[in-house]
């Protein structure tokens, strides 16, 4: 019996194999069987193909989006560069406009006061000490600047050169407490003169004015050539207050400078003068 069982199993295996080959052969030899097999394969593979196509489509969409983003980034960089260029040009035009305005106003100052030859200069530094009113200009002896020369803006007198080097000059402003120049009240009724000094609290004060002289607020004060420190007729400022005591023989006038000492940028060195009296 032990020998018969293996033989039966082998015979059954051969029978199953022959039956399977018969079925496959029948399918192959039967008309339309190939289309049936293809249809079955298509039904099985169609979902897989759809998934693969969708994945490839998503990859293609992502690539397109990335390419578009890179293109937009390049365009934004170009636009930023163009905006920076235009802003720079606008800033330069504004500077030219300010400079042209200053030159027009300076021309009017020269016509009124007969100011002589002028050398344009720029403020490059301010004295760091809060107790010293001084600035540094970008002009020096190489440009013909000398100690004692007057510095003006189109609004009026600013100060005098106190120290000079080949390429720069230090200017003591008229608002410094150590500054002292001669001034004159420009009035139809009074041509009184006095000494103009800087005030510790800011601004100017005109001292040594006889008490019997009549002064009014709003009157213009100009430089006087008394003492030879500055040329005659440069605008200093306007009287904003008069200080007088009955017991004193002298009075004084507080003056607001015409030039804005806190915003000095473009100035002019007065190289030579003409007599305008």
Distance CA(163)–CA(145), nearest Å, equals 10
Which of 59, 79, 113 is the endpoint of a domain?
Answer: 113
The answer to whether 276 and 113 are in contact (CB under 8 A) is yes
Mean of the pLDDT values across residues 83-94? 78
Please tell me whether residues 132 and 218 are part of one structural domain.
yes
Question: Could you tell me if residue 175 is inside a domain?
Answer: yes
Please tell me whether residues 168 and 270 are part of one structural domain.
yes
pLDDT tens for 225-250 read 887 788 888 999 999 999 987 677 88
Q: Residue 143 pLDDT more than 80?
A: yes
Q: How far apart are the first and last CA of the chain?
A: 154
Question: Could you tell me if residue 23 is inside a domain?
Answer: no
Which of 74, 92, 113 is the endpoint of a domain?
Answer: 113
Question: Could you tell me if residue 128 is inside a domain?
Answer: yes
Query: Residue 273: which residues within 8 A CB-CB, separation 6 or more?
Result: 115, 116, 231
Please tell me whether residues 139 and 257 are part of one structural domain.
yes
- The radius of gyration computed from the CA coordinates of the chain, to the nearest angstrom, equals 48
Please tell me whether residues 239 and 272 are part of one structural domain.
yes
pLDDT tens for 99-137 read 777 777 667 666 655 667 888 899 999 999 988 999 999
Please tell me whether residues 180 and 138 are part of one structural domain.
yes
| Residue range of the domain that includes 87 | 31-113
Domain CATH for 221: 2.40.10.350
Q: What is the dihedral of CA 140, 142, 144, 149, to 10 degrees?
A: 20
Distance CA(158)–CA(162), nearest Å, equals 13
pTM for the model: 0.63
Please tell me whether residues 99 and 125 are part of one structural domain.
no
Please tell me whether residues 270 and 137 are part of one structural domain.
yes
Q: Where are the beta strands (DSSP E) in 215-276?
A: 220-223, 235-243, 250-257, 266-270
Which of 86, 113, 140 is the endpoint of a domain?
Answer: 113
- Our count of domains for the chain comes to 2
Sign of CA dihedral 88, 90, 91, 92: positive
Please tell me whether residues 129 and 219 are part of one structural domain.
yes
């Amino acid at each position: 019996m032990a020998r018969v069982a293996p033989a039966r199993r082998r015979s059954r295996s051969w029978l199953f194999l022959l039956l399977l080959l018969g079925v496959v052969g029948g399918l192959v030899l039967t008309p339309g069987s190939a289309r049936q097999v293809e249809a079955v394969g298509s039904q099985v593979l169609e979902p897989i193909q759809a998934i693969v196509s969708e994945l490839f489509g998503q990859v293609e969409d992502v690539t397109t989006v990335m390419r578009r983003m890179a293109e937009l980034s390049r365009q934004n960089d170009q636009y930023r560069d163009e905006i920076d260029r235009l802003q720079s040009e606008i800033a330069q035009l504004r500077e030219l406009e300010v400079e042209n305005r200053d030159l027009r106003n300076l021309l009017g100052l020269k016509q009124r006061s007969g100011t002589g030859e002028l050398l344009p200069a720029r403020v490059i530094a301010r004295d760091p000490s809060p107790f010293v009113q001084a600035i540094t200009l970008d002009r020096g002896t190489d440009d013909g600047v000398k100690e004692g020369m007057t510095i003006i803006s189109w609004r009026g007198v600013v100060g005098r050169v106190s120290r000079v080097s080949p390429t720069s000059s230090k200017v003591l402003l008229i608002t410094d407490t150590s500054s002292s120049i001669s001034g004159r009240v420009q009035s139809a009724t009074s041509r009184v003169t006095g000494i103009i000094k800087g005030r510790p609290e800011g601004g100017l004060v005109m001292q040594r004015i006889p008490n019997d002289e009549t002064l009014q607020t709003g009157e213009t004060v100009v430089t006087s050539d008394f003492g030879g420190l500055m040329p005659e007729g440069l605008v200093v400022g306007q009287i904003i207050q008069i200080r007088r005591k009955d017991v004193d023989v002298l009075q004084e006038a507080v003056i607001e400078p015409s030039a804005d000492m806190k915003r000095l940028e473009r100035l002019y060195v007065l190289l030579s003068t003409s007599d305008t009296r």
